[in-house]
A and B are shown apart, each in its own frame.
Chain A
Amino acid sequence: MARMKFLCDAERCIHCSGCVTACKNEHEVPWGINRRRVVTLNDGKPGQRSLSVACMHCSDAPCMAVCPVDCFYQTGDGIVLHNKDLCIGCGYCFYACPFGAPQYPSTGNFGGRGKMDKCTFCAGGPEADHSKAELEKYGRNRIAEGKLPLCAEMCATKALLAGDGDMVSTIYRERVMARGFGSGAAGWGHAYREQERTRERKGPGAKE
């Protein structure tokens, strides 16, 4: 049985936010909710990277562990989904999630957050496949159509990979072998003047 996973290749992500737009458009996600977003690491410094982040569909999901009403479930393909009929909007999953994936649609009286919303891996929810209820609550069910998540399929640089974890890792491994990894890649030290900076740190006349 496959375990569906996302992987964002930081060497390729150009922060175009095409994945964010594709997700919002496909699922008609309302204003204020971003099921997917692009974050920047080491902003403005050498080694700056962008990463597309959403629910990572953890194999041992902390959101599932903390949910007081057990509204989460995992499909046979390892996709972590939740039932909005059971969700009470307590926000525990938001605090438990290391990726900040759970989103809440509104802030109402008495701190009410509304039902939690998150990336579904384009797999909808517990309602009948392609039903109106499923579309309104969870968005499109592309997986049942035999399609992968749109964010990954629309990625112009193929930075965002989605699908069976084994195949995702195979694709990424081939890329890493082809280009080298991080500071081990050809020309990395020259591009980022690593030797020069090391010399500066150690002081003049220091041995390499």
Chain B
Amino acid sequence: MSSRRTTITVTLGLVLLAGCNAEERGHAIKLDKGVYAGASDSVLSDATRLALNQRMIWQTDGPARVATATGPAAMPSGTAAVTGRMAGQNY
């Protein structure tokens, strides 16, 4: 009788512990020091990088802008296009 109760207890314990995994808790449980264990971020496309560099020209002054810019910075297009906002919104 006693061994049966022990078996049930151990089985129940194992079942409960099986629920303690990272996915069900929603975050990492086992930590490896110095290693980021969260979700990975998206990588910027070349078009987005180009758009960012173009917008940097807006931060320069008059003389510097004349020296470095070939024209007004274009709004991002293609994969870098604005989503979820008004089209053509500058800021």
Contact = CB atoms under 8 A, between A and B. Distances in A.
Contacts of B68: 170
B38 A150 contact: no
Interface residues of A, number: 42
Given A86-B27, A163-B53, A164-B53, A171 B48 contact: no
Contact of B60 (A81, A127, A174): A174
Given A69-B31, A158-B61, A171-B64, A145 B38 contact: no
B70 to A, nearest CB: 15
Given A70-B33, A77-B44, A130-B83, A2 B49 contact: yes
Nearest to A129: B42
Contacts, number: 118
Interface residues of B, number: 41
Contact of A144 (B34, B48, B58, B91): B48
B1 to A, nearest CB: 44
Contact of B80 (A2, A76, A145, A154): A145
A127 B32 CA distance: 22
Nearest to A77: B44
A72 B36 CA distance: 7
B60 A171 contact: yes
A91 interface: no
A76 to B, nearest CB: 6
A105 interface: no
Given A143-B52, A164-B53, A167-B53, A70 B36 contact: yes
B3 interface: no
Contact of A175 (B49, B58, B61, B83): B61
Contacts of B63: 174, 178
5 contacts: A71-B36, A83-B39, A85-B27, A126-B40, A174-B63
Interface of A: 2, 69-73, 75-77, 81, 83, 85-86, 124-130, 143-148, 150, 152-154, 158, 161-164, 167-168, 170-171, 174-175, 178
Given A145-B76, A147-B51, 14 more contacts: A70-B34, A75-B44, A76-B44, A85-B39, A86-B38, A126-B41, A145-B48, A145-B80, A146-B55, A147-B55, A147-B82, A147-B91, A153-B58, A170-B68
